[in-house]
């Protein structure tokens, strides 16, 4: 029996988070808490993809920083727009 590797667990976590976000978005009224929670999980998912699936953990520091900035900047804009 083959055991799951680290990437399979990350992939399963990403799928679970995606389904959870979908259930939250469809099942509840659009509140600030739900929007902020979904934005934070999108940020986490982006960081997992950058580090483990794109394998930028050991890549050029500048390239990794640019990609991480993208996944911090845009969910932060969503959170700020929700607050106002």
pLDDT tens digits for 35-72? 888 889 999 998 888 888 888 888 888 888 888 888 88
Q: Can you give the pLDDT at residue 19?
A: 93
- Report, as an integer, the average pLDDT of 20-24: 88
Q: Which domain holds residue 31?
A: 6-83
Length, in residues, of the chain: 84
Answer whether residue 29 is part of any domain.
yes
Residues near 42 by Cβ (< 8 Å), separated by ≥ 6? 21, 71, 75, 78
The domain tally of the chain equals: 1
User: Between helices 61-83 and 32-48, what is the axis angle to 10°?
Assistant: 170
Give the pLDDT band (50/70/90) at residue 17: very high
Answer whether residue 62 is part of any domain.
yes
Give pTM, 2 decimals. Answer: 0.77
pLDDT(2) > 70: no
């Amino acid at each position: 029996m083959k055991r799951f590797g680290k990437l399979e667990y990350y992939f399963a976590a990403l799928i679970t988070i995606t389904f959870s976000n979908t259930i939250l978005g469809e099942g509840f009224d659009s509140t600030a808490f739900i929007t902020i929670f979904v934005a934070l999980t999108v940020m986490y998912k982006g960081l997992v993809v950058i580090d483990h699936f794109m394998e930028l953990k050991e890549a050029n520091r500048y390239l990794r920083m640019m990609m991480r900035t993208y996944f911090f900047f845009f969910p932060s804009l969503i959170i700020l727009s929700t607050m106002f």
